[in-house]
Amino acid sequence: MQRLYPPPSPGDDEDLDALPGLARAYAYPEPVTRPYLRANMVGSLDGAARAEGRSAPLSSPADMRIFGVLRALADVVLVGAETVRQEGYRPAKARPAFAGAREERGQAPAPAVAVLSRRLDLDFSAPLFRDPVVPTMVVTGAGAPREGQDAARAAGAELVFAGEGPDVDPVRAVRELADRGFVRLLHEGGPRVLAQFAAAGVLDELCLTISPRLTGGDAPRIMNGPGVPGPARYTPLSVLEEDGFLFTRYVRR
């Protein structure tokens, strides 16, 4: 993997093929004095967030390395219920290579997963709820179906209420998670819920993998929901490359 932007300094021995170097390249701004929300998404050259109904066909080994590093740096992973179902989500893993750094930062051995759902129509018998290293959370509104709330609690999930009705308020969701000590937040989509968080003005950073593939069709973009006021301006922080894939980081200006 090579750095394209900013250009490497003469004599720079940055090793982006090793986990420590990649972790430094994607480090959160420390110390984290407020909730910091980054998103990680992959898109095709023509803007599709999925191929054949999933993101995996757009990915690559390097993309999956970055995926793992971003999780290993985060306190919590936010993900929409539809993505949980489509991608077959499982609990985040405790990775030995990051155990010491996580302990020094006061983090749990693995990030918690927080599922965003208004209807709570989730498979609570799935490993995501039955076998997590850290208990899975369900972020919903206080008006979500009562039977779903009961099923979530029975599965050992923690309910986080971030709205008065069934809908999740992104601003309140970030605040509620931060109040629980989760300040390094990672959003993994899907396109609808990520658009809602961006429109609410709480997205600090976008890590976007640009896949060198064309898909055509009618797949959603990486954000497929309400418009972002402005539109909001983001500034490039870094661009890495491997095997034709571009790994970009943009931060809110």
58-99 confidence digits (pLDDT tens):
999 999 999 999 999 999 999 999 999 999 999 999 999 999
What's the CA gap between 189 and 208, in Å, rounded?
12
The residues, any chain, with a CB within 8 Å of residue 93's CB and separated by 6 or more, are 71, 110, 133
pLDDT of residue 107: 96
Say what percent of the chain tops pLDDT 90: 92
Residue of 75 and 13 predicted with greater confidence: 75
Binned at pLDDT 50, 70 and 90, residue 14 comes out as confident
Mean pLDDT of the chain: 95
pLDDT of residue 13: 75
Domains annotated for the chain, with CATH where assigned, are 32-252 (3.40.430.10)
Average pLDDT over residues 130-150: 95
Average pLDDT over residues 128-150: 95
| pLDDT score of 12 more than 80 | no
The residues, any chain, with a CB within 8 Å of residue 14's CB and separated by 6 or more, are 3, 8, 21, 24, 25
pLDDT of residue 8: 85
3-class SS of residue 24:
helix
pLDDT of residue 9: 81
What global pTM score does this model have?
0.95
204-250 confidence digits (pLDDT tens):
999 999 999 999 999 999 999 999 998 899 999 999 999 999 999 99
Cβ atoms 224, 41 nearer than 8 A = no
